[in-house]
Structure 1
């Protein structure tokens, strides 16, 4: 699977993941995850060149679309972190993500992102800001943008892995948790590799988008598992 294909595949899966949750919204279920998946769909869409160039042109052609992508991803990881920590029963992960320390990190990340964006010369749309890669402020902007997702992912890897080994859970649920654990692990690996001088080449796209595919697929399977569980409980109650 090449870089472009995996980007479009991730966009399709994110869109489908958000769409299947629409019926539950009328019952007041899954609102947080729905918003997170919609924002992730937007972020993934803005990473694809034709979509990015069209959106950024409408916003003035100064790469505001890239800033929106970054801010959307921060919100996605914050919302995913809150819901996943609760789903995996990890109070420590939740405290690290939405406790005073975690909220301070996201606030500093947003502030630093805005600062480096404003401090950069970004006239002319460029997907991923590749045309401006030699600017130090753009390099710092990109580095800051990876750190917060890496932090949240690191908080979730162990709770997700432990849930995958829960013998009392359904097989599909355990498999889904394993996918989520692998997805978050890939995010951490990607962030750590980008801190080195290693040239990732096409893996610069394949690693993060593989993480998205694994995580969203895992979340969809968890949703399926919970839906089946609710229907089974409802049938049992009717028989009783």
Structure 2
């Protein structure tokens, strides 16, 4: 097993575990959007694993529709994560860039182009991450588009998250969680930029799935801190921040 695959499987395990931890709260009606976000992260990472992808794709036609679903799930992850993160870290400007007029136009264009280039590609048989079709220009553009929207949202939220990690008004667990989330989002931006200009080799797996781990662990720490605060409440003007990401 390579380091990249190990990180990939770790990301799947951590995201799935955290989704399960949040299930009881979701059943009670607490922050179901973040539960949905964690489920979509798990689905996205899971469909990047050959064992899962090759089992799922034949069920939906065997022409790599599962990969298109992966892309759409990932876009959904970043919409939820971006909006909730921007609200939690008090970055109204970032929220507007994500779900304001500009953000919705960006999302609409990316989704339309993603579907368009998928349809334009010749994908007759199941292939995890479409590796068997890397020689097609349409597949290369499709893959690039799949990285651009996450990078756009990550660029909007990583700075507010990192700023929150240095804000001494926040509880220490919240600062640690925000810092991990900010670093993870920054990695998404760096990875996308590097992938546009260079062949990253093993880092094509190491960077994005390391980012998944950091963001998921950061969210888990903030969630645990919020749960503890609910059990042992202490008046705080920052309570709304915890609710937005927990």
TM-score w.r.t. length of structure 2: 0.92
Asked whether 1:30 is paired with 2:23, we answer: no
State the partner residue of 2:139. Answer: 138
In structure 1, list runs of 5 or more residues that go unmatched: 235-240
Report what 2:80 is aligned to: 79
1:218 aligns with 2:218: yes
List runs of 5+ in structure 2 lacking aligned partners.
Answer: 235-246
Q: How does 1:1-240 map to 2 (within 5 A)?
A: 2-196=3-197, 198-233=198-233
Q: SS where residue 20 of structure 1 aligns?
A: helix
How big is the alpha-carbon RMSD for the aligned residues of Structure 1 and Structure 2? 1.3
CA deviation vs aligned residue, 1:26-79 (integer Å, no higher than 9, x gap)? 432121100011011111000000110111122221011100000000000001
Displacement of 1:176 in angstroms is: 0.7
Q: For the residues of structure 1 that align with 2:159 and 2:4, how far apart are their CA atoms?
A: 28
Q: How many angstroms apart in 1 are the aligned matches of 2:105 and 2:199?
A: 32
Contact 1:21 1:30 in 2 (8 A): no
Q: How many residues align?
A: 234
CA distance in structure 2 between the aligned counterparts of 1:148 and 1:52, rounded to whole angstroms: 22
Structure 1 residue matching 2:175: 3-state secondary structure: helix
- Whole-angstrom distance in 2 between the partners of 1:26 and 1:120: 40
Q: Distance in 1 between matches of 2:30 and 2:83?
A: 15
Structure-1 separation of matches of 2:73 and 2:3? 25
User: Aligned partners of 1:105, 1:169: CA distance in 2, in Å?
Assistant: 32
SS of equivalent residue, structure 2 residue 232: helix
For residues 26 and 201 of structure 1, the distance between their equivalents in structure 2, rounded to whole angstroms, comes to 42
Determine the structure 2 residue equivalent to 1:238. none
Output the CA distance in 2 between the equivalents of 1:31 and 1:12.
20
Residues 59 and 65 of structure 1 are in contact (CA less than 8 Å); yes or no, is this contact kept in structure 2? yes
Aligned match of 1:237 = none
Partner of 2:241: none
